[in-house]
Amino acid sequence: MRLQDEPDIPAQINIVPMIDVIFAILTFFIMSTLYLTRSEGLPVNLPKAATGKTDKPAQVTVTINNTGEIFLNKEAIGLDQLEAGIRQKVEPQQQLMVVLNADEEVNHGQVVAVMDQVRRVEGAKLGIATRK
């Protein structure tokens, strides 16, 4: 009869263990994202320089529209003048990035011919633009 004499304790939900689990998961994700960065070298404290700048390679765009016309930086150019036009854009001791924008309707042979002209230029790298 002792059970009936005890007062009823209301039911409770203890959230402290749940908070501990959430903080443990949060800590795991924070620590794992710290290791996702790619390091190109050893970690060092770099000095500051007032005249420092980042050098991005020069970039030109070669476009082939759906009618097969070729443009070098929005200026119409023939396939036979393309190599000379790109050579004029190349700076000494610097790379030139050539981005090829070709319409999907363009003949595959014409795209290959343009790529061949670009590859003949020393110091030019070729990239093909696509849509996501």
Candidates 3.40.190.10, 3.30.420.270, 3.40.50.2300, 3.30.365.10; correct CATH number of 58-128? 3.30.420.270
Per the CB < 8 A criterion, the answer to whether 67 and 27 are in contact is no
- DSSP category for residue 119: H
Across-strand partners of 58? 96
Q: What is the pTM of this model?
A: 0.56
Domain ranges of the chain: 58-128
pLDDT tens track of the chain, all 132 residues? Answer: 555 666 777 878 888 889 999 999 999 999 888 877 665 556 667 677 777 666 677 788 888 888 888 888 888 888 888 888 888 888 777 788 888 888 888 888 888 998 898 888 888 888 888 777
Tell me the torsion sign for CA atoms 37, 39, 43, 49. Answer: negative
